[in-house]
Chain A
Amino acid sequence: MLMAFDTLTASLRERFGSDSFTTSEFRANRRVHVKPDRLVAFLKYFKDEAGFDMLAELTAVDYLRYPGAQNRFGVIYVLLNTASGERIYVKTSLNEAELTLPSAFPLWKSADWLEREVYDMYGIVFEGHPDLRRILLPEAFTSFPLRKDYPLRGKGERHNFPVITRAES
């Protein structure tokens, strides 16, 4: 039985206060926007009391030069209730100089690689992550390529290798 979004927001309002979050909805896509400092409390509530027992996806968006955007980065947690099949999208916003979030790893083990990927591509640091290092790009890479201010063709990293000639090989 799917819990109606209204019921969920009502229980959230009762628990956290009506000014601690906002909601938006598009078709079956139900979002809860929270402040970064309340994030863990919300995630814990969704996991322990609302039955969202699986972190299905964790990703980020760079809203640089996005029309009407208030904040630079958005981090999105897609939670899944494996009993009822319903999903909820928890969104939080971050701005430069304060790009840290508490890790969701203590709640869901699936946050391990997902947080590493977000760190790899956007440079968002998850405090409390057991092993936060790059997951896809080489260790020596220092840029965060999915940021919108990073050039599409890179900064020349792809051509920074020794050239092997016939005489050497």
Chain B
Amino acid sequence: MALDLPENVVLTKLDQLANWVRANSLWPMPFATACCGIELMATGASKHDIARFGAEVMRFSPRQCDLMIVAGRVVMKMLPVLQRIWLQMPEPKWCISMGACASSGGVFDTYAVVQGVDRFIPVDLYVPGCPPRPEQLLQSIIDLQNMVIKKTGTLLGKEFSQRTAPDGPRPNTLLPADVTVAPGDYTKTQRLSLN
């Protein structure tokens, strides 16, 4: 006997329901350190209006966020802060690396600037540009929504346990003259393993 469903009832799997809900209410953590942060603000403002994609609830507490948008260059003094905020965000969580600096260090190939945050935290999406247009950031939100719905996302987040290695490109091999690092004494000790 066919079940007679009322009009406003949908049958689905619980995982898919969770993904659908998550994808359409991403709460971003704006980790804005440079000019990309200005474009991020423009994306949130009325002209581009990130609220059309359900991601307008910028929270400044990582405990309430599930999408980190790293907007701008990250220096080595800021990276421990970034990692700490990332660890404070509850699962499920995603990360967008916005702009050339966050993705690769950009033009700041200097001693203090981290050459891509994906070397130290997992990144799901990269947005090119210096800085990217708000449209590009909106497209990345749409792409991330598709990723959340199709590629990742179970109710209990069990897909994350299979990802044990960082996704990003491996750092370039350093010249022997540059290889002298460990916390504390950078001049005498060996470089730590990159893995």
Query: Are both chains from one complex?
Result: yes
Chain B proximity mask over A111-143: 1 for CB below 8 Å, otherwise 0: 000000000000000000000000011101111
Q: Are the CB atoms of A150 and B111 closer together than 8 Å?
A: yes
Q: When chains A and B are docked, how far (Å) is the Cα of A154 from the Cα of B115?
A: 12
Q: Are the CB atoms of A159 and B181 closer together than 8 Å?
A: yes
Q: Are the CB atoms of B194 and A158 closer together than 8 Å?
A: no
Determine, out of B45-53, B132-140, B162-170, the stretch whose residues face the partner at the interface: B162-170
Count of B residues near A, CB < 8 Å? 44
Chain A proximity mask over B81-101: 1 for CB below 8 Å, otherwise 0: 001001100000100000000
Determine, out of A54-62, A66-74, A83-91, A160-168, the stretch whose residues face the partner at the interface: A160-168
Q: Are the CB atoms of A156 and B179 closer together than 8 Å?
A: yes
- CB closest residue in chain B, given A155: B180
Count of A residues near B, CB < 8 Å? 27
- Which among B109, B112, B113 has the highest number of chain A CB atoms within 10 Å? B112
Q: Are the CB atoms of B187 and A142 closer together than 8 Å?
A: yes
Q: Are the CB atoms of A163 and B183 closer together than 8 Å?
A: no
Taking A155-B178, A158-B115 as contacts, is the C-beta distance between A167 and B191 under 8 angstroms?
no
Instruction: Say yes or no: is B54 at the interface (Cβ < 8 Å to chain A).
Output: no
Q: Are the CB atoms of B111 and A153 closer together than 8 Å?
A: yes
Instruction: Say yes or no: is B195 at the interface (Cβ < 8 Å to chain A).
Output: yes
Q: How far is the CB of B77 from chain A (nearest CB, A)?
A: 5
Q: Are the CB atoms of A158 and B114 closer together than 8 Å?
A: yes
Instruction: Say yes or no: is B192 at the interface (Cβ < 8 Å to chain A).
Output: yes
Taking A162-B120, A169-B121 as contacts, is the C-beta distance between A138 and B76 under 8 angstroms?
yes
Contacts of B121 in A (CB 8 A): 164, 169
Measured CB to CB, the residues of B under 8 A from A are 75-77, 79-80, 83, 86-87, 93, 109-115, 119-122, 160-166, 171, 174, 177-187, 191-192, 194-195
6 pairs of A and B residues whose beta carbons are closest in the complex: A154-B111, A166-B163, A156-B181, A160-B181, A167-B164, A142-B186
Q: What are 20 of the A-B contact pairs (CB < 8 Å)?
A: A142-B185, A154-B112, A156-B174, A156-B178, A156-B179, A156-B180, A156-B186, A157-B112, A157-B186, A159-B114, A159-B115, A159-B174, A160-B191, A163-B166, A164-B120, A164-B166, A165-B122, A166-B122, A166-B161, A167-B160
